[in-house]
Amino acid sequence: MKLISENKAFGGRQQRFEHHSTVLDCPMRFSVFLPPRAEDNAQGFPALYWLSGLTCTDENFSHKAGAQRVAAELGIALVIADTSPRGDGVADDGDYDLGQGAGFYLNATQPPWKSHYRMYDYIVDELPKLVEAELPLTGRRAISGHSMGGHGALVIGLRNPGRYTSVSAFSPICNPISCPWGERAFSAYLGADRQSWEAYDATVLLSRATERQPILISQGEDDEFLEQQLKPNALATAAEAAGYPLQMERHPGYDHSYFFIATFIEQHLRFHAGYLLRP
């Protein structure tokens, strides 16, 4: 874990690291915000893991969301992952919704993607083990994300309820097996067997869930991707049918941008703090 940049923010430290990922077989970068007085905190901080959307890196959230002020106040660390493996030897595609910058937080099974595209294992296992061994973190985790990253947060949270105290998402891709972004990515990464896609679809997973987690979703009603790509109504219908206590909030006038995230990130951080900071 090599520190490549550090900036003071709200009394804490915004840091960026590089390491070689064994799971992804390439160098990876990620960002971390540590609240004030991290060096004096013997117990460590709980952490919110953030997953970003298509075309993003770890720096979009750290630069645009404005999350550090509230995280510093609450005493919550932020662990911000990249969206895919990267590098000259990593398979890519000319379009923005497949390849580098578009890992979809799954484990690819098809060539040429399967050699590197194992973002599910990276987020669930490798990255937490690394940062929790090297930084003052307690191992108590929540997970959140935006768009493709909202899809990742929901899927990872639903598949691993014991690892995360709470889950939230901004404008998530809720039903990827039934939208153009998901169908293209899943066909490439997972192959033609559509049944195998269901393991990475939040609507399917929620309908089958046997455990209940706190889940908060924020969706802008002026989001240009709302009807064709995101499909929050499918998730809401599945939650109602399953009796799952999903908290979905719809916000008139807001779009898919980081202006939307910055507006409601404080609400999400305080939502997670209610579970991360419990005795």
Known catalytic residues are: 147, 223, 256
Q: Which value, to the nearest 10 degrees, does the dihedral of the CA atoms of residues 145, 148, 151, 152 take?
A: -70
Contacts of 114 (CB under 8 A, 6+ apart): 107, 108
The CA distance from 16 to 86, in Å, is 16
* CA within 13 Å, CB half, 99: 11
Buried b (16+ CB within 10 A) or exposed e, 89-115: ebbbeeeebbbbbbbbbbbbeeeebee
Decide: 101 and 83 in contact? Cβ < 8 Å.
yes
User: Which two tokens mark 229?
Assistant: 């790509």
Q: 54-87 burial, b if ≥16 CB within 10 A, otherwise e?
A: bebbbbbbbeebebbebbbbbbbbbbbbbbbbbe
Distances (CA, A) of 228 to 102, 180, 208, 254: 18, 8, 24, 17
* Strand partners for 238: none
**116 contacts: CB under 8 Å, gap ≥ 6:** 24, 25, 26, 85, 89, 90, 91, 108
- How far is it, in rounded angstroms, from Cα 237 to Cα 121? 29
CA atoms within 13 A on the CB side of 247: 13
